[in-house]
Every structure is written in structure tokens, then in C-alpha cells.
Structure 1
Amino acid sequence: MSMKINTTLPSPAELKEEIPLSEKLAELKKKRDQEIRDIFTGKSDKFAVIIGPCSADNEDSVCEYVDRLAKVNEKVKDKLMIIPRIYTNKPRTTGEGYKGMLHQPDPDKAPDLYAGIIAIRHMHIRAMEESGLTGADEMLYPENRSYLDDILSYEAIGARSVENQQHRLTASGMDIPVGMKNPTSGDLSVMLNSVVAAQMGHRFIYRGMDVQTSGNDLAHVILRGGVDKYGTCQPNYHYEDCLRLFELYQKKDLKNPAAIVDANHSNSNKKYKEQLRIVSEVLHTRRYNPDLKNMIKGVMVESYLEEGRQNIGPDMVYGKSITDPCIGWEDTEHLIYKIAEEC
């Protein structure tokens, strides 16, 4: 085979022993997980705001951003559940480009996966310690999540992964909310089939073990827009789209039917400032229709310290995205307060 072994990585158990989660942080996660579960089961009417950089590329700037979120959270925590996006894996459409901190802890240097698994665990724990918030990440590689499964409070499965069997089966063994994005084609049935699979129990091979899962009752959908055969973005956050999703949910025997609306990606055509308007429309949809208010549990927003994006190079701006463009901090703060007022 055209494959060579660079190094044997430590097991998740070994890494957790090397970089442990303290009892205090374990209790914090337990408390936050229950609060988030209550949102998705309908026991709480708080609105989830999953917000943060497109990619968590620098520990210091990410932790500064999450610290700022924590200060805002103190003012809105009676209405909102803020979950920081700390995304350490990035899907690449062509396979080229920055693949996230797991691959490259330093974007300027060559991939180093051993350093990467250490860096992402350290960053997530530091963010928890300094902010009191537990974060979200993308489950791009199902077996890699074991390095963070004692830390994360929310996980998303991306548009390119949602049809993959291993992602669906792994999600069925998780005890936190997992959001299934619609595929890049925009096909809602594919996304809902993933939820059906994730809510069922399965037996399969995971990290060399024969495992059995009991199903994840918090598996749900994420609307992120799609792209038609001509490459044109087709948003799916409008009232009619949400109503159609609600009707499709009614035909499925699923627990805790829920949706998160991703305000960027193909919903905004990556015009990052559009996220402000899109979130406003989603809030209006919820106010207009009680059924949709119960279904739409939150929004996902890409945001960082500085707005826009930049290329990797010698003179990079601190706190500015090196992947998709994000709104900046001023817009972020105003948006969170607006959501708290209108949700």
C-alpha cells in the first residue's frame, strides 16, 4: 500500500491521563450538558447560540474570544445558552488547505498530528477553565472525537460527512446533542435519515473494538443551505423551508424533533455580514409560528475577534479567520443581545 506509518499516537485514555479534566471541570460539563439537554427535550425555553470562529487556529485568540463570550453570557444567561464553537478539524472540499489545529497546531508549519491532539485538548480545557463555558466541535473524523469526548457539550456532523455510515453510528453512541447538517446538495431527506440512524442503537467496529450503542435521542438537524447542480447557493432558512422541515419531521417517529439554523455557509453564500439578517429572520419565524418556535432550538454563527478572513502568511492579523470569513466582535456582541431580546 502507498501508506507509511509516521508515528503511533497515544490512545485517548493515555492522552486523558496526560492532560486530565479536573473534577471541577467535569462537574461544570455535567451541569452544562443537562442545561443543553433540557433545551433539546423542551424542558427549557432557552435559545441555543453556537457561535465562534470558523476554525480554532490559535489558542490565545480563541481563548480571548471565549472569555469575551463568557462576559456577555453573564448578561443573557437567563434567555440564552451560549456554546462556543471551538472547531479543531476542517473539511476541505478539494483536500487542499488548512485542515485545522488537529493537523497543524501551527498553521505556518507542516502537519504534526501528535502535537495536534495535545494542542486541541489543551485549548478546549483552557477555554473551559477561563470562561466557565463548554464548547462545540465538528466530528469530522469519528474515531478522533475520543480525544475530546469528556470535554465537548455539542458536536456537529458536516454536510460532506452526513451520509457516512461511521459518522451516523458513532453519533448513536454519544450522550450530547449531535447536529446533522443537510448535505451540500441541500437534500433534507438525507439529513433526516441520518437523524433516524443516530437515534437507533447499533453494533459496529470502533477503534478496534466491537461496540454496542443505545441511540442518541438528542440527534437533530442543522439547516446550512445547499448548492444546486450549477453551483448556485440555495438557502434553506426561510419560513417556507422551516415549515417544510416541520412537516417532514411529523412523518418521522423521532424523539425531540429539533433544528439549528446555520446562518453562514450556503445560507449566506459566505457573505458573512448576511448572518446578522438571517438570524433576525429566523427569530421572526419563531415569533410568527409556535410550532416552528418549538422546533428551532438555536442558531449557529461564525464569528471571531476581527471580521473577514485572511490568508496564512507572515503578517497575519490576530483573531482573524484563516478559513471562512466571520463577523467581528462588535457585531457579535450586538447580535447576541438582539437574540436575547427577541427569542
Structure 2
Amino acid sequence: MSMKINHELPLPEVLKSQYPLSQELKEVKKQRDEEIRRIFTGESDKFIVLVGPCSADNEDTVCEYVRKLKTVADKVSDKLMIIPRVYTNKPRTTGDGYKGMLHQPDPDKAPDLLAGIIAIRKMHMRVMQETGLSSADEMLYPENRSYLDDILSYEAVGARSVENQQHRLTASGMDIPVGMKNPTSGDLSVMLNSVTAAQHPHHFIYRGNDVETSGNDLAHTILRGGVNQYGQTIPNYHYEDLIHLSALYAKKDLKNPAIIIDANHSNSNKQYKEQIRIVSEVLHSRNYNPELKKLVKGVMIESYLLEGRQDISDHMTPGCSITDPCLGWEDTERLIYDIAEKC
């Protein structure tokens, strides 16, 4: 066979016992989860800002970034819920390229998933220890989330995964918000079908077990733009797009309708500076229409210490993305204060 086993990976319970979450951090996460839930249920009118690197590639620079974020978060805590974007798995369209810290805890070295699952757990814990902010990550591999399910406060299902049955069923067993992105085609019905599936109970096989879920009432939509049959990007953050999705939501019997706008990817055509303008337009649409103000719960922004991106090499600059280009810190700080003022 063409598949070779490198390591037998530890069970999630074993890894959690080796790298346990302290009682203090469990309480931090519990309080954060409760506050985030109140936003999605409409009990709180705070606006969510999911912000951070396209891919978390280095523990020290990620923690430096989130420490800066914490300083800003404290100043806008009456208006905003800041959730650090600490993405440790990176989907690749063709399968090539850096796949995130889970695969390569050191981008310069060969893949090592045993070291990777330890590295990402330790990094997420360190972020919470140093800042009191619990993070968001992408559920790229449904079975792997069990290594982090006691740490994360938000998860996203990406455009390439949103039609996958295992992602939908696993999301139905989560007790935190899970955002379903529209697929790369831009088809909103696929995204809404995923939300519907995640909000319902299911019976399926998970990590070799027969499991039953109760449904996730915080499953919701993320608009990230799409690509048409000619490879042209089609954004879907405009007022008309939000009104259209609002009408589609109204036809469905879904709990806690919510939209998050991903300001990068196909909405910006990866022109990272456009995120500033896109967020401004989204805030204007919310303020213009009271229904959208209730429905659009937040934005997702790709940002790091330094703007742009770089290739993996032996002379990389710490804090600059090695995947998609990101806003730099100065622009990010100004943008967060602007969101707090206008939301």
C-alpha cells in the first residue's frame, strides 16, 4: 500500500491529561463562551471581531500579536467581543504549500503531526494564559478538534469543507458557535444546508465510536465571496447580498440567525488592504437597516504584526504571514477602534 504509518497519535484524553487546562483557564473560557453565546442569541448587542493571522505559524509571534490585541480589546470591551483568530490548519486548494502548525510546527522542517498536535494545544493555552482571550480556529479535520475542544470558543468550517457530511455532523455536537462559510462557488444554499444540518441532532461514527448529538443552535453563516466558472471573484458582502441572505434565512426554521462577514478571501480578492473598506461598508449597511443590525453579528479580518506576506525561506521576518497577505498591526488597531465607534 502507498500509505505509511509514521506515529500512532495519542488519544485526545491522553494529550489533555499531559497538557491540562488549569481550573482558572477553564473558568476564563466558560465566561467567554457565555458572553459569545449571548451575542448570537441576541441578548447582547456587542459586535464580534474575529481577527488574526491567516495562519498561525509561530507561537512567539502569535502570542506577541494577541498581547497587542488584548490591550485594544480592553479599551473597546463595552462595544466589541474580540476573538483572536489562531488558525493552526491551513486548507490548500491544490494540496501543495504550508498546511499550518498542526502539520509543521516549524515551517522550515519536515511535517510532524505528533509534534504538531502538541504545539497547537500549547500555543492555544499560552494565548489564553497570557491574555485571557480564548481563540477561534478552523475545523479542517473534524477528528482533530477533539485535541482542542476544551480550549476553543469559536470554530469555522471552510469553503472547501462546508459540503462535507462529517464536518456538518461534527458541528452538530459542538457547544460553541460554528460558522459555515459559503463554498468557493458562492452558492448560499449549500451554506444554509450546512447550518440546517449542524443545528439538528445526528447519530454517526466519530473517532471509532457510535455517537449521538443534540444539535448546535449557534451554527451560523459566514460570507467569504465566491469564484465563478471563469475564475473571477464575486464578493458577497454588499447590502444587496445581505438582504438576499436575510430573505433566505426568513424562509428557514433556523435558530439564532446570524451572519459573519469574512472581509478577505474572495470578498477582497486577497487584496488585504481592501478589508478596511469592506468592513466600513458592512458597518454602514448594518446602521442603515435595523434588521441587518440584528442579523450581521461580526466580521472576520486577516491581520498580523507586519502587513503583506512572505515566502518560506531561511531569512523570514517574524510576524509576517507565510500564507495569504494580512493587514499590519497599525492598520488593524485603527480599524478596531473605527469598528467600535461605528458599530
Q: What residue in structure 2 maps to residue 67 of structure 1?
A: 67
Residues 108-127 of structure 1: pairs in structure 2 closer than 5 A: 108-127=108-127
2:252 aligned with 1:261, yes or no? no
Deviation, 1:2, is: 1.8
**One-letter amino acid of the counterpart of residue 58, structure 1:** N
1:32-72 deviations in Å (ceiling 9; x for gaps)? 00000000000000000000000000000000000000000
The correspondence of residues 91-102 of structure 1 with structure 2, limited to 5 A, is 91-102=91-102
Cross-structure match for 2:35: 35
Distance 1:5 1:95 in 2: 20
Task: Report the equivalent of 2:235.
Answer: 235
SS at match of 1:301: strand
2: CA distance, partners of 1:328 / 1:215: 38
Residue type of the alignment partner of 2:70: A
Runs of 4+ in 1 over 4 A off after TM superposition: none
Separation in 1, partners of 2:196, 2:132: 33
CA–CA distance in 2 between the matches of 1:230 and 1:155?
31
- How far apart, CA to CA, are the structure 2 residues paired with 1:25 and 1:238? 39
Q: Pairwise mapping of residues 50-89 of structure 1 onto structure 2 (< 5 A)?
A: 50-89=50-89
5 Å matches for 1:141-180? 141-180=141-180
TM-score (norm. length: structure 1):
1.00
Identity %: 77
Counterpart in 2 of 1:47? Answer: 47
Partner Cα distance (1:58, 1:95) in 2: 21
Q: Does 1:307 align with 2:316?
A: no
SS of residue matched to 1:327: coil
Query: Residue 340 of structure 1 corresponds to which residue in structure 2?
Result: 340
Letter in 1 for 2:139: M
Structure 1: how far apart are the matches of 2:113 and 2:196? Answer: 33
User: Within 2, Cα distance between the matches of 1:333 and 1:301?
Assistant: 12
Displacement of 1:7 after TM fit? 1.0
Question: How many Å separate the matches in 2 of 1:266 and 1:74?
Answer: 31
Alignment match, 2:215: 215
Q: Which amino acid aligns with 1:254?
A: L
1: CA distance between counterparts of 2:290 and 2:321? Answer: 36
CA distance in 1, matches of 2:196, 2:2: 37
For residues 88-145 of structure 1, give each alpha carbon's deviation from its aligned partner in whole angstroms, at most 9, with x where no partner exists.
Answer: 0000000000000000000000000000000000000000000110000000000000
| Structure 2 counterpart of 1:338, one-letter code | D
Whole-Å separation in 1 of the counterparts to 2:117 and 2:4: 20
Secondary structure of the corresponding residue to residue 193 of structure 2 = helix
User: Which amino acid in structure 2 is aligned with residue 245 of structure 1?
Assistant: L
Q: Secondary structure at the match of 2:65?
A: helix
Separation (CA, whole Å) in 2 of partners of 1:323 and 1:154: 21
CA distance in 2, matches of 1:110, 1:10: 20
Give, in angstroms, the shift of residue 3 of structure 1: 1.0
- Mapped to 2, the partners of 1:67 and 1:163 lie a distance apart of 35
Is 1:7 the counterpart of 2:7? The answer is yes
Over residues 315-343 of structure 1, what are the superposed CA-to-partner deviations in whole Å (9 max), with x where a residue is unaligned?
A: 11110000000000000000000000000
Quick one: distance in 2 between partners of 1:4 and 1:263?
40
Quote how far apart the aligned CAs of 1:17 are.
0.4
CA distance in 2, matches of 1:297, 1:73: 17
Give the partner amino acid of 1:275.
Answer: Q
Q: Secondary structure at the match of 2:211?
A: strand
1:52 and 1:7 mapped to 2: Cα distance?
A: 31
Could you tell me which residue of structure 2 aligns to residue 184 of structure 1? Answer: 184
- Inter-partner Cα distance in structure 1 for 2:75 and 2:287: 22
Counterpart of 1:75, as a letter, is: K
Whole-Å separation in 2 of the counterparts to 1:132 and 1:68: 12
How far, CA to CA, are the matches of 2:70 and 2:190 in structure 1? 36
Gapped runs of 5+ residues in structure 1? Answer: none
> 5+ residue gaps in structure 2?
none
Is 1:128 the counterpart of 2:128? The answer is yes
Partners of 1:318 and 1:91 lie apart in 2 by 22
**3-state SS of 2:50 partner:** strand
Q: Give the alignment's Cα RMSD to 1 decimal.
A: 0.3
User: 2: CA distance between counterparts of 1:318 and 1:16?
Assistant: 29
Distance 2:2 2:45 in 1: 53
Number of aligned positions between the proteins: 343
Aligned residue in 2 for 1:202: 202
